Each structure stands twice: as structure tokens, then as C-alpha cells.
Structure 1
């Protein structure tokens, strides 16, 4: 009885939610991010502030907030991890809460976000993830758009109102084509579901979140609030641009499809849209970028495994790109592969 009471007392002292802010070089946005967490109407949380060796003034800002509130804990890396998803996993492993909110350091939230999403999770223990709609904002926190078009391409009604569904329904239908959870800051997750589905795959550079959500949807319900309670910062993403140019982004999408194909009953309409997109981007990459030969080989062999009509799809896209715009694609190839070689010889 004494042990039972001690355990219950300890559990009562634990926070309901662990908020994780994984930061790298976002001193400009940190005050707004942290204030939007501390001002939540739902206050039963701990706040983990992670920094991945930022070269700016981030650590001083984080330490200032930690000195004001005993719910805040600082976790500073001694060297840069080079991975958003390593930081996610580090925070999740340190979390004491029943629920996890991965509040990205350049985003911010309406004060009702936690209250709204925790209420959904508490209403049904089979809901593994709850998320809300978002506004898009620029570097100056000005609203520049929403996600209506993003969702309406998939279903023109579903995301216009609140819903609770089996995650597998959305996984099967949409996730082979589009990541229906575009921003982690809009999401609160049941920690036990993360432990069952697995942590984020740290080998991904840009699509680790997509795989993370897919594995969670495969084993739990999902709840959505149509209230726009999250502010998703849009700015130039140099990492994403670099991964497009060197072929990494394409390889990750192919890897993603292999994973989803194993855990989902695919909707082949959206699956084929994704294959068209990947092949189209690959053909454009052949023309425009210097993707290493080994990555072209990887894409070729793996796309053949994913697509029974791969050769037809490839040559259709290739002909469209080469013959479009007054043969501009062909002219570019000639310049790239012929003229450049002549110039190099001389």
C-alpha cells in the first residue's frame, strides 16, 4: 500500500504535457515562440529547451527564460548534431509528460492550442495524435496564407471541420502522396504511441517527419481541429534546396514510398500521383542538376521496384521535358553534356 501510494504520488507530480523546443540558430524567433508556450491557457506542462550548438545568441535567450520558470529545463549539445530528428528524439527520451508537443523554434501558437488538443486526446485513449489547422506567416510574423488549397486537393470537405478517424484511413488514402501533417508545431502526441510506433528516423534529412507520422497513423486514431491555432513560419529553406539539387530529396521520397507500401493499403490514385511527381522531378534533375551517378542508379533500381510501368512513366516525362518550350530541354542538355566537355578539353 505504501509503495502504491508513493507511485501514485509521483505520477501526480509529473506534468501532463512535455513541450519540446528544439532550437538551432533562431534567436530572432525564440522570444515569441517561448512566450506563446508560457501563455497557454493549459498550464500543466514542462518545457524542454534544446539547443544544437547555435552560433547566434540563442543560448543566452534560452537561459534567461529558464531562470524565470522552474518548469523549464535546458539541454545544450556540446557539438552540433546536424539533425532535426536527432533533437526530436533526444527531447522525447527526456520527456516526463503523457503527451508531447514538438514546438519548432521558429513557429508560434495561439494560447488555446494545448487546451484544444489535450482535450481531444483525453476524450479517447485510442487517439494517438491530435493536430490543428495552421496559418502561414512570414519572417515578420505577418499572415501570408493558410493551408486550404493544400488540403482541398486531397479532399475538399474533410479538413474544413473537426474530425476523429482511424489513422490508417488517412495513411492508406493520402500519405503515399502528401504529408497531411505539414508542421510538427501543430501537433500533440500521446507519448506511449511514439514508443510503440518508434522514434523519428534519424537517417532522413528532410522527410523524417513524414515517416514518423505515417508509423503513428498506422497504429492509432487521429483527431483534427479545424481551428487555426498554429502559426507556421515560411522562409527560405537552404537545406531543402540543397537536397533537391543533389538528389537527396528524391531518394528520401523513394525510401518513404517503400516504407508506406509496407504499412498501408495504398490508394493507387494518389500513389501514382506521387510516382509521377518523383519521376518528373528526377527528369528535371537530370537536365538541371549535377546529381551524382550513384544516386541516379539508386533511383532507377528502386523506382523499378515501386512502379510496374516505370519505363513508360520515365520516357513519357523525359520526352515532355526535352521537347517542351521550343526544345529548351534538349538545348540545355546539349550545352550541359557536349559544350561543357569541349570547353573542358581546351
Structure 2
């Protein structure tokens, strides 16, 4: 039985798929199995995958119809055998030493349920954009400069602010399963929620060397309704974490108040369905009983700014009319 099970989910990413598969088959760590799941692709992904089916480490599942990648990842984990599991997107890539470094952390620290490395965020063409630590340094300056093993519960304080695990790492299978796997009812931020659940019951290991390359696609959050769904997912994560840990004092002004302001803008756009707004409001109210006061305060601030802008525009029009 292989020590590590890697599950790649692919849907119409044939242009990146060859690089992704080779990034695993070229790993310095060899004791792994690679399950490639094609989620109903309509491009030439199947042709790319077929080139690797003779490798004894590779197994493949093809689906005729596209379904939730979260569902496919859960199914993939269930059909593999490794003590450690890694879920992987088909448009990302990784350094040949990734598995070796992360397996070493899990082997040497039985309390660790999840291990991951710093990542490079890359664009469509593979150009490096920035390191993940640049997004997190403000949470704990210097922490992500070196390798560490830390209490998962303590790291959950950082998870209240953002998902510090930008891209996938390796989880201990027993912890992955006991945490409930991916919530398939949560289209966005399901990984954030699962990593949080894992950290609440186990420790976290981090490798400071950037061994993961996560691809960021332009305009991936371009629609208001999608942004509202992402916000709803984030609030579900925050609610879950606050049900299990005490937040830092500055959480409310740094995270919660700006979220209310952001939701107010989304709501006033008129593009978010009523039922979604009601769900978001329900989450906000569960998280903070004083949400109505905060909402009124924010709406007053927004309305005041809009009225001031309208008055300014009206005044300018009046000046132009007078000059005529």
C-alpha cells in the first residue's frame, strides 16, 4: 500500500494538465499513488491523461458529466489507500521535492494532521506573481519565514482573518476523514472550512520554501452574485471557528466590520437574490447580536456619502447653468 495518495481533479484544463501530472510523477519521494479524475471534460484532457496510464502509480477515473469537484475529491479519497492524502487542482503545479518535505513533517510529528508549504501564486502563463507569505506577514510578522510546527487551535486564530493555506498540502487520512471531508453544499470556501476543522483537532506543519505553484485566473470573482456566495462561505467558516475558539480583540474591527460594509455594497447593488441576502444576514446575526446597530451605522455612513456626492454633482450642474 502506498504511503501517500494524490488525487487530481480535472475539468477542461488540458493546457495545464500535462505539467501538473509530470510535477507529481517527477517527485523525489516515490511511495505514492496518483489518481487522476476527469470530471466530464469537453476538451482534449482525456488524450493528455491517456499518455500516463501505463505508469503503475497512475489510476484514472472518467466521468461523462461534470459534477462538484468537492464531491469528486471526496470520492477520490475514499477510493485510494494511502496513510496520507493530497488533493490537487489540475491547473496548479509543484516542486519535485514537495512530497518529500511534507511527508517528512508528518512522519516526524505524529500530532500534525496537515502539512503544507509556502506557495508562489502564478498567472495563466506560469509567471510568478507573489509569495503567499506576503499575504500573511501582517498576521504574525516573521512566522512564515522559517519552517514550523504549531498548535492547530492557535493557528485557527489566523484562519479567522484569511485562509493561510493558500493551496493544498498533505493531510493525515484519519484526520481528513474525521473532520468530515469537503462540505459539498458549500461551493466556495469549502477548503477553508475543512482546513479549519482539521486544525481544531491536530497540529499544523509548514515548510517555508515555496514548493507549490498555485495558478490564479483573471476575473475569477468578477460577478456580484458569485462574490456574495464567497462572502456567505467565509461567514460560515468564521461562525464555525467562533463556535470553537475565542477571537483576538482586533478581529471585530479588522474583519467583521469591513465584512458588513462589503455586504452593504453588494446588497445595495440590487444584484444579490433576496434569499442569499437573508442567509448572509442570518450568519451575521448569529456571529454578532449587535449586527443591526452596525448595519444601521454603516447604511447611514454610505447614505451620507452618496448624498454628499449627489449634492456635489447637483451644485456643479447649477454652476454650469448659471454660466450659460
TM-score (norm: length of structure 1): 0.85
Alpha-carbon distance, 1:60 to partner: 1.3
Against the structure 1 CA distance between its residues 328 and 294, is the aligned structure 2 distance closer, same or farther, given a 3 Å change threshold? Answer: farther
For residues 236-256 of structure 1, give each alpha carbon's deviation from its aligned partner in whole angstroms, at most 9, with x where no partner exists: 254x43464573222222222
Against the structure 1 CA distance between its residues 327 and 60, is the aligned structure 2 distance closer, same or farther, given a 3 Å change threshold? Answer: farther
**Match status 1:163 vs 2:148:** yes
Against the structure 1 CA distance between its residues 329 and 309, is the aligned structure 2 distance closer, same or farther, given a 3 Å change threshold? Answer: farther
Matches within 5 A, 1:175-214: 175-184=159-168, 187-214=169-196
Q: Say which of 24, 30, 51 aligns to 1:37.
A: 24
**Match status 1:318 vs 2:299:** yes
**Match status 1:265 vs 2:252:** no
Q: Distance in 2 between matches of 1:317 and 1:250?
A: 17
CA contact (8 A) 2:147 2:208 kept: yes
Matches within 5 A, 1:98-247: 98-171=83-156, 173-184=157-168, 187-236=169-218, 238=220, 240-242=221-223, 244-245=225-226, 247=228
Alpha-carbon distance, 1:232 to partner: 0.9
RMSD of aligned residue pairs (Cα, Å): 2.2
Against the structure 1 CA distance between its residues 320 and 129, is the aligned structure 2 distance closer, same or farther, given a 3 Å change threshold? Answer: same
Q: Say which of 252, 255, 259 aligns to 2:236.
A: 255
Against the structure 1 CA distance between its residues 209 and 74, is the aligned structure 2 distance closer, same or farther, given a 3 Å change threshold? Answer: same
Q: Distance in 1 between matches of 2:278 and 2:310?
A: 22
Greater helix proportion: 1
Q: Which moved more, 1:120-129 or 1:144-153?
A: 144-153
Instruction: Give the match's secondary structure for 2:9.
Output: strand
Alignment length (residue pairs): 313
Partner of 2:279: 298
Q: Distance in 1 between matches of 2:59 and 2:311?
A: 57
Alpha-carbon distance, 1:70 to partner: 1.5
Matches within 5 A, 1:324-339: 324=305, 327-328=308-309
CA contact (8 A) 1:15 1:96 kept: yes
Partner of 1:275: 256
**Match status 1:79 vs 2:65:** yes
Alpha-carbon distance, 1:291 to partner: 0.9
Alpha-carbon distance, 1:330 to partner: 9.8
CA contact (8 A) 2:224 2:266 kept: no
Partner of 1:62: 49
Q: Distance in 1 between matches of 2:244 and 2:311?
A: 40
TM-score (norm: length of structure 2): 0.90
CA contact (8 A) 1:322 1:329 kept: no
Partner of 1:343: none
Name stretches of at least 5 consecutive residues in structure 1 with no aligned partner: 1-13, 332-346
Name stretches of at least 5 consecutive residues in structure 2 with no aligned partner: 313-324
